[in-house]
Structure 1
Amino acid sequence: MARPMDLAPPTPRDIIIYRYQHGVNVGSVFVLERWLGAMYEEDTDGSSELEAVKRSLQTRGLERTKAKWEAHWLAGLTEGDLLWLRDVARCNSIRLPIGYFTLGPSFCLGTSFEGDMANVYINAWNIAKRLIDKCYDHGIGVLIDFHAVPGGANAASHSGTESGRAELWGSMHYRALARDCLAFIVQEVTHHELSGVIGIEICNESIRDAPGIDEFYDEVIEITAAINPSLPVYISDGWDLSRALDYALLKNRVPVPIGGNPVIVDTHRHYTSPESKSISPESIIEQIHGELSELETRQGHVFDRKSAVDVYVGEYSCAMDMQTWNRMDASQRLRLTKTFGQEQSRRWTAKASGSAFWTFKTDSTDSSDWGFKDQVNTGAIPAPAWLTIPREQVSSAIDQAEIQRTHLGKKALTDHSGYWASTSPEIVLGLHRFTQGWDIGYSDAKHFFGAMAHGFLPGGGDGGDKIGAVDLWTRKRMVEANEFDQQSGWEWEHGFRKGISDFYAAVGLT
């Protein structure tokens, strides 16, 4: 049985999975959206990927269409793009939407893409894998977002077709095909060592109260666990964050259920809904301060609740509806857009395990509020402070933190024992557990922070990393330390969390 002091340090894989994910969606590359790009013939009916490829086949034929699509995929993230993401935007991750058709013709059987359309995608998955590897070489992780699922998880055209229906949930055929697709992706990630993959997202923006959604999630999580039990599974909140959080808490319970894949909830925050149109930009900005409040009663105290959950903001932007903007002086728009982005960035950094702006590239000058480059350049979307620290300063900060380590550890123990002695003197403390937890927490935070600077991760850029999925990381370390089997495991957790926060204070981060 492992003791806390015997725990191995975080691996590179641990760090890339559990660090705070600061990123962007690479949208309209492997799943087209007409408003974002110029891949559509002018006379194309509709805005889905299916309509775009059908019309191109009619006008260009298979070989020219295939060449056009492949050129588009290959240009999705150029070397220049990757350097900009790493060195300017300071991204350490992207969210990559793909479709079932991305996986090739065999996954298009019995769907609207069967036939000549499917043959356009013969090389799509190999190109996607090369993109994932290129990202990893630059220190950027990739969340594979199964965006366009068979039949559609929602009725929108970004599910790949113009059906106007969310047919995944009512079709056994589509559900079986979706499971096969996800199993294939997990096998590829695992057996082809796609080291940059930080997780797999089961579906994008499921409709609210989708029939059978829990059973579908159960099936996919069980399949994933059989192949790769450490790969995080991201689930759509289905526009009901509380319900999704409770589902994830059930799946993340201890003792660890089948496989034990960490389940993270993906939630999207857009402010262009009919409700948002009726209020001012200032009111929307004020709302940001209360976002993700559903976490308040569901996070912390991992030992007591025997579970953990974290949230990822998979889509957000700086866009508001024109009816909203029309409620204020047009001269204030740039200032308020910047404030809007900064307030979102601040909130997601404080409450979520990561976030991804929608989207990286837009071909339309009318879409700048949705364009990551524009918003980074105006200062609306700043990188978290720790990702901007020069490499040499990361190393010197760690050296200073080590000098303070003994003093901080003693002070933390004194404060802990003094607090409980004054508030609950009847409690028998296991102070050694607090000390062991503190030591592991301090060390873990140090390993995350120094991983890039010390060459532990590829990329070679500036910046440190912070633990992002804090509750799930706490759960993982407590399982490894067998602390859930101890009566005073809560003290280990208190020490662990205090060790993490003390390290961040020591290197000047809060």
Structure 2
Amino acid sequence: MFHKIKQKFESAKEHHGGNSQTNFGISIPTAGDISKREIYRNRYNHGVNLGSCFVNESWIYDTIFEKGGDNEYDAVSRQVKETSVDEAAENLSRHYKEYISKIDWKWLKEEAGITALRVPVGYWHVGNGKFVKSLAFESLQNVYAKAKPWDAFKDLIKKAEENDIGILVDIHGLPGGANTDSHSGESVKTASFFGSRSYVDIMVNEVIPFIVTDVCQGNENIIGLQIVNEAAFDNDAKKQKKYYSRAVKSVKSIDESLPVVISDGWWPQQWSDWLEKEKLDTSVVIDSHVYRCFSDDDKSKNADSICKDIPNSINFPRDKADYVVGEFSCVLDGETWSKTKETRDECVKKFGNSEIKQFSQVASWGWFFWTLQFKYGDGGEWGLKPMTEKGAIPKRPKDASIPPDENKIKDIIKEHNDYWKDKGGDKMEHWRFEDAIRCAIADIEAFHKFDGSRLGRWHAWSEQRKLQHIQEKGESDYIWEWKQGYQRALDEFNGYHY
């Protein structure tokens, strides 16, 4: 929706010689009049990953790895070789059912306050093995046709909707791999997806359109489509950019308002700059993963130092684009613990809360903890439930002072007017500042009515509202006052109080 609004606005502005007061015929929701689908797609998320539900990882669930293998392709191939296609399919099908049946929906909704699940899937799961021809998983097509992971995924979507929980479809495994890790589903020595025209063509022309048409359009609780997970770092990333451009176009040709999620490739600034340049900043959300247990730099620090460094090390340019932390945990490395004097539980709680606090400042689409559940045990510092119960991951607050106190609103407006009084304020348009405050509050109230939600995607949403304001009230040199007012209202009234 946002991309279309911006496109129409710009074309109409050019056509009318820059006269932005023209009625552009843009159909967008007025302040406070927001559909449930739009809230799902734009609210701030307290989320969790369903690690190893579909894209299997042996350290989380070892069900399909009983015959060996380091990744899903090798594990299933070995089982087929040693048993049969039917037995391998039954093993997978049983895993999907057991995993999903184990989900405690009541706890997720009422205790943890989870708003959405990030669900990793591989291209080989889509349509029950429909798109594997000429790809690595082609030899296993019959297995997935019988195991029916896509049917299980659709059941999961419905169960989530019954609990007001959204689903982020995460294409975790791409042909040839976006990275060389086993969570791509197959063994690759070099990540070859972005450099292969045939791989990209299959995803952009076949897989992505199928996903959008088959599950995203018909389910109002689908919050977005992630078109890649953890793209390898690339200094110029020309091939990644080509894929992202084509994929976004593919999605938007079917569903204009569906958020498209890309990987930051371990360089957040690179992608906000690119999105701004390509005018895709209101269509795309950038996914950045936050772990403090892998790098030598983090291993060299104690827990307290890592916590204190979070505001500096997690600092996305939120004014340029929308960000989501698609994965993070409360795990610190053994070397860090060897340098730490404080108790482990105390440090873990401090670490988790420091992460959540920082995310609430810079990640406008929220966060997704890695991960929900394990076959054995609770996952410790990788597990959502133990971390929530220990207070390391705060439960989502649903109480808020909404509507805000009118006196507080008037004080903010007066403060703005007084500041500019002796700085040329008499020539300014302070009414725009107040207009933005009132508009933002109406939006905040509308989101809050749906299960205590908070407005998210601050960049895209405020840009939409700014263009709507210009359409209705006209262009001006003082649009900056409107922008300041909207952002001030978000800062004052939209945050979670942990």
Structure 1 match to 2:15: none
Structure 1 match to 2:108: 85
8 A Cα contact 1:478 1:493, kept in partner: yes
Q: How does 1:245-260 map to 2 (within 5 A)?
A: 245-251=272-278, 253=279
Q: Which amino acid letter does the alignment assign opposite residue 341 of structure 1?
A: G
- 1:435 is displaced (CA, Å) by 2.6
Structure 2 match to 1:488: 478
Structure 1 match to 2:415: 415
Residue 349 and residue 413 in structure 1: after superposition, are their counterparts in 2 closer, same or farther (change >3 A)?
closer
Query: 2:253 is paired with a residue of what secondary structure?
Result: helix
Q: Deviations over 1:286-341 (max 9, x none)?
A: 2212233242xx51xxxxxxxx4111011100112222222235x72222122111
- 1:98 is displaced (CA, Å) by 0.4
Residue 118 and residue 284 in structure 1: after superposition, are their counterparts in 2 closer, same or farther (change >3 A)?
farther
Query: 2:63 is paired with a residue of what secondary structure?
Result: coil
Q: Are 2:154 and 1:129 aligned?
A: yes
8 A Cα contact 1:157 1:164, kept in partner: no
The CA RMSD measured in Å over matched residues stands at: 2.6
Compute the TM-score of the two structures, normalised by the length of structure 2.
0.87
CA distance in 2: counterparts of 1:356 and 1:504, whole angstroms: 19
Q: How does 1:44-63 map to 2 (within 5 A)?
A: 44-45=68-69, 47-63=70-86
- 1:43 is displaced (CA, Å) by 4.1
Q: How does 1:208-287 map to 2 (within 5 A)?
A: 208-209=233-234, 210-251=237-278, 253=279, 262-271=283-292, 272-287=294-309
CA distance in 2: counterparts of 1:420 and 1:364, whole angstroms: 61
CA distance in 1: counterparts of 2:409 and 2:307, whole angstroms: 40
Q: Deviations over 1:197-244 (max 9, x none)?
A: 111111000011155111110000111111111111111000111101
Q: Which amino acid letter does the alignment assign opposite residue 264 of structure 2?
A: D
Unmatched tracts of structure 1, length 5 or more? 300-307, 453-463
8 A Cα contact 1:26 1:76, kept in partner: no
CA distance in 1: counterparts of 2:60 and 2:44, whole angstroms: 27
Query: 1:120 is paired with a residue of what secondary structure?
Result: helix
8 A Cα contact 1:155 1:163, kept in partner: yes
Residue 316 and residue 51 in structure 1: after superposition, are their counterparts in 2 closer, same or farther (change >3 A)?
same
CA distance in 2: counterparts of 1:499 and 1:200, whole angstroms: 29
Structure 2 match to 1:438: 437
Q: Deviations over 1:418-444 (max 9, x none)?
A: 21113x216621233223222211111
Equivalent residue in structure 1 for 2:344, among 333, 342, 358: 333
- 1:504 is displaced (CA, Å) by 4.8
- Percent of aligned positions that are identical: 28
Q: Which amino acid letter does the alignment assign opposite residue 159 of structure 2?
A: K
8 A Cα contact 1:375 1:381, kept in partner: yes
Residue 274 and residue 367 in structure 1: after superposition, are their counterparts in 2 closer, same or farther (change >3 A)?
farther
Equivalent residue in structure 2 for 1:96, among 119, 122, 126: 119
CA distance in 1: counterparts of 2:202 and 2:282, whole angstroms: 22
8 A Cα contact 2:36 2:220, kept in partner: no
Structure 2 match to 1:206: 231
Equivalent residue in structure 2 for 1:184, among 210, 225, 232: 210
CA distance in 2: counterparts of 1:380 and 1:284, whole angstroms: 15
- 1:498 is displaced (CA, Å) by 3.3
Query: 2:313 is paired with a residue of what secondary structure?
Result: coil
Query: 1:153 is paired with a residue of what secondary structure?
Result: coil
Report which stretch shifted further, 267-276 or 36-45.
Answer: 36-45
Q: How does 1:392-407 map to 2 (within 5 A)?
A: 397-398=401-402, 401=403, 404-405=405-406, 407=407
CA distance in 2: counterparts of 1:202 and 1:54, whole angstroms: 26
Residue 40 and residue 504 in structure 1: after superposition, are their counterparts in 2 closer, same or farther (change >3 A)?
closer
8 A Cα contact 1:360 1:373, kept in partner: yes
8 A Cα contact 2:125 2:144, kept in partner: no
CA distance in 1: counterparts of 2:354 and 2:497, whole angstroms: 18
Residue 328 and residue 37 in structure 1: after superposition, are their counterparts in 2 closer, same or farther (change >3 A)?
same
8 A Cα contact 2:282 2:321, kept in partner: no
CA distance in 1: counterparts of 2:335 and 2:411, whole angstroms: 55
Q: Which amino acid letter does the alignment assign opposite residue 414 of structure 1?
A: K
Structure 2 match to 1:156: 181
Residue 411 and residue 232 in structure 1: after superposition, are their counterparts in 2 closer, same or farther (change >3 A)?
same
Structure 2 match to 1:355: 367
Q: Which amino acid letter does the alignment assign opposite residue 445 of structure 1?
A: I
Structure 2 match to 1:311: 323
Query: 2:100 is paired with a residue of what secondary structure?
Result: coil
CA distance in 2: counterparts of 1:189 and 1:127, whole angstroms: 12
Structure 2 match to 1:459: none
Number of matched pairs: 465
Q: Are 2:464 and 1:473 aligned?
A: no
Structure 2 match to 1:457: none
Equivalent residue in structure 1 for 2:388, among 362, 376, 393: 376
Equivalent residue in structure 1 for 2:95, among 45, 54, 72: 72
Structure 2 match to 1:195: 220
Unmatched tracts of structure 2, length 5 or more? 1-22
Compute the TM-score of the two structures, normalised by the length of structure 1.
0.85
